[in-house]
Structure 1
Amino acid sequence: MTDRSRLGELIINRMKEVLGVAMDKEVAEYFGIKQASVTNWRKRGTIPIEQCIQLRQARGVSIDWLLLGIGEGEIDENYVSGIEDRDYTEVPLYDVEASAGNGSFFDQEQISSYLKFRNDWMTREGLHQKDLAAIRVAGDSMDGTLADGDTVLIDRSKKKPDGVFAIRIGDSLRIKRLQKMADGSLRVSSDNPMYQPEVIHPENMSQIEIVGQCYWRGGRVF
Structure 2
Amino acid sequence: MLKGEKLGAAIEAARIKKGISKAEMARHFGVKPPSVQGWVKYGRISKDMLPRVIRYFANEVGADHWGIEPGDPYAPDNLVQLRPKLSAAEGMVVIDRLSVQAGMGAGKLAEHFPDVIDNLRVSKDWLRRNATFTSMKNLGLVTGLGDSMEPTFSDGDALLVDRGVRDVKVDAVYVLSLNDELYIKRVQRRPDGAWLMISDNPSYEPYVIENGDRDHFQVEGRVVFAWNGRKL
Counterpart of 1:168 (choices 169, 177, 193) is: 177
Cα shift at 1:97: 4.0
- C-alpha separation between the residues in 2 aligned to 1:173 and 1:97? 8
**Does 2:125 align with 1:116?**
no
**Does 2:162 align with 1:155?**
yes
CA RMSD of aligned residues (A): 3.0
Is contact 1:150-1:220 (8 Å) kept? no
Q: Match for residue 200 of structure 1?
A: 209
Gaps of 5+ in 2: 1-76, 103-107
Three-state SS of the structure 2 residue aligned to 1:147 is coil
Alignment of 1:6-85 (within 5 A): 85=89
Is contact 1:31-1:113 (8 Å) kept? no
**Does 2:136 align with 1:132?**
no
Gaps of 5+ in 1: 1-28, 33-57, 59-82
The one-letter amino acid paired with 1:139 is G
Q: Percent identity?
A: 28
- C-alpha separation between the residues in 1 aligned to 2:213 and 2:152? 28
Cα shift at 1:121: 2.6
Counterpart of 2:153 (choices 136, 146, 149) is: 146
Counterpart of 1:184 (choices 158, 181, 193) is: 193
Three-state SS of the structure 2 residue aligned to 1:203 is helix
Q: TM-score, normalised by structure 2?
A: 0.53
Q: TM-score, normalised by structure 1?
A: 0.55
Cα shift at 1:208: 0.7
Q: How many residues align?
A: 140
- C-alpha separation between the residues in 1 aligned to 2:147 and 2:95? 25
